[in-house]
Amino acid sequence: MRFLRRLFRKRYSLLLLALAAIAMALETTCRLGFDLGDPPLEIFDPACGYRFKPTQTVSRFGNRVSYDANSVRGGCDDLPSRTTWKTLVVGDSVLNGGSLTDDRDTATAVLNGLSYECDGRFLQFMNLSAGSWAPPQQLGYLKAYGTLDADAIVLVLSSHDALGPAKGSKVPFPSEKPWTATEEVVLRYFLGQRRHLFSATASGWEASAAQVPSEIAASQDPNATSSWCLKQIAVLCRQRHLPLAVVFWPTRTESRNHSWDKNAGVFFDTLDAEKVPRIELIERIRATPDFETVVYRDDIHPSVTGQRLVAGALLQLALQTARLGQ
Listed by start position, the domains of the chain span 42-177+197-324
pLDDT in tens, 94-141: 999 999 999 999 999 999 999 899 888 999 999 999 998 999 999 999
CA–CA distances in Å: residue 264 to residues 100, 259, 291 = 26, 10, 21
Parallel, antiparallel, or unpaired for β 244-248 and 152-157?
A: parallel
Mean pLDDT computed over every residue of the chain? 87
pTM (two decimals):
0.90
Nearest to 124 by CA among 324, 321, 326: 321
pLDDT of 81 higher than 60 = no
* CB contact at 8 A, 153 and 90: yes
Higher pLDDT, 308 or 323: 308
Cα Rg of the chain (Å, integer): 23
Question: Rounded to an integer, what distance in angstroms lies between the CA atom of residue 161 and that of residue 165?
Answer: 8
Fold of 42-177+197-324: Rossmann fold (3.40.50)
pLDDT in tens, 35-52: 778 899 999 899 999 999
CA angle 291, 158, 323 (to 5 degrees): 90
- Is residue 32 exposed (0-12), middle (13-18) or buried (19+ Cβ within 10 Å)? exposed
pLDDT of 30 higher than 50 = yes
Phi-psi region at 211: left, alpha or beta (left = phi > 0; alpha = psi -120 to 50): left
Q: Report the pLDDT averaged over residues 159-186.
A: 73
CA–CA distances in Å: residue 117 to residues 82, 85, 151, 252 = 10, 9, 14, 33
Helix axes 262-273, 222-239, angle to 10 degrees: 30
pLDDT band at 218 (very low <50, low <70, confident <90, very high): confident
Q: Rounding to the nearest 10 degrees, give the CA dihedral for residues 43, 46, 47, 49.
A: 60
Helical (H) or strand (E) element with 278: strand 278-280
Q: Report the pLDDT averaged over residues 279-308.
A: 98
- Range in 77-81, 111-115, 168-172, 275-279 with the lowest mean pLDDT: 168-172
- Is residue 116 exposed (0-12), middle (13-18) or buried (19+ Cβ within 10 Å)? middle
Phi-psi region at 235: left, alpha or beta (left = phi > 0; alpha = psi -120 to 50): alpha
Question: Rounded to an integer, what distance in angstroms lies between the CA atom of residue 210 and that of residue 208?
Answer: 5
Nearest to 323 by CA among 187, 123, 142: 123
